[in-house]
Chains A and B, each alone.
Chain A
């Protein structure tokens, strides 16, 4: 059965704790760029929590929105890559092949969500932090673009395990690192081609909307905005 991986983010549950950011960084060997690079807008988080205040103290009405690669079906970042480093996989993911990337950064410009990050220098892990690197994920050198892959290494590992055990994938496997770390279970991951999966159910919810959906990128992450106590979506 061919899968179509997607995600649903329930903004009603998101507390903005940032555990997903840390988990992603740990799982995917995302470099920490340091204070100077952070000041120069060179952060490399594959997922970020956008925090918006709607009004002033004492009731600022904070809203959090985790933004990660939307794995668009009509991804604007894919046709512009001259070396096919950014392409669409058969399972609906936007794949990034680090070995093909020559660093034109065209995809970074084309992405309307600006979820793509770039290795401006060779990443450095001060000893002994290099021991924490995940051996399942390659470390990217200077000049290579990277972004959220829906933890494709975990997806592949689950698929291989399932086919070795001669069974289908179960609900809840695979689980990307961000989804696994989310305490309130705001992030839900699963197979959109299975109409009974939780993510498909949430994607069909009347609360659901796509981020920048009007651009026609056909993202595969459905955001469910919070409902306040009076039933309004605010």
Chain B
């Protein structure tokens, strides 16, 4: 994917974002191809994204928990040392280690899944415009097929500055 293939428009007025999105839709682009870049989350565009995170996090917690339990109990059995009249494998205390490592597993899974799905660290196929930080919204297509390119630029012309 070539970043130069992208077509974007910088929308400054309220409402122009919606016009840009409809313009792209009417040009034949699918909803999932349209990229909306903003400095704050825009709920009406963000809601369509799917999030599989909770299940993966749960799986991470289970893995972490199993790891914790094995760490505590297997090492206790491998070099059995009696302390304080307690059994060699103490399930109550192993439970605490299990819990902590389960939570650690969930936490690490959350961050890894986030980085992967948000495609961070990014290889920057998307444009970066400082004006987005001033509150403007950039709407466009990451890679426009050459045939439709001029059509799209035509439709977006009135809405704001075209990028690139």
Contacts and interface: CB of A to CB of B under 8 A. Distances in A.
B46 interface: no
Interface centre among B84, B85, B86 (most CB of A within 10 A): B84
Contact of B85 (A75, A81, A84, A86): A75
Contacts of B86: 79
B82 interface: yes
Give the secondary structure class of B's interface: loop
A18 interface: no
A143 B2 CA distance: 63
A218 B81 contact: no
Contacts of B134: none
Contacts of A12: none
A78 B85 CA distance: 9
A76 B90 CA distance: 15
Interface of A: 73-79, 81, 84, 86-88, 218
Interface of B: 81-86, 90
Q: Which 9 A-B pairs have the closest CB atoms?
A: A78-B83, A74-B85, A79-B84, A78-B84, A88-B82, A79-B83, A87-B81, A75-B84, A84-B81
23 contacts: A73-B85, A74-B84, A75-B84, A75-B85, A76-B84, A77-B84, A78-B83, A78-B84, A79-B83, A79-B84, A79-B86, A79-B90, A81-B83, A84-B81, A84-B83, A86-B83, A87-B81, A87-B82, A88-B81, A88-B83, A88-B84, A88-B85, A218-B85
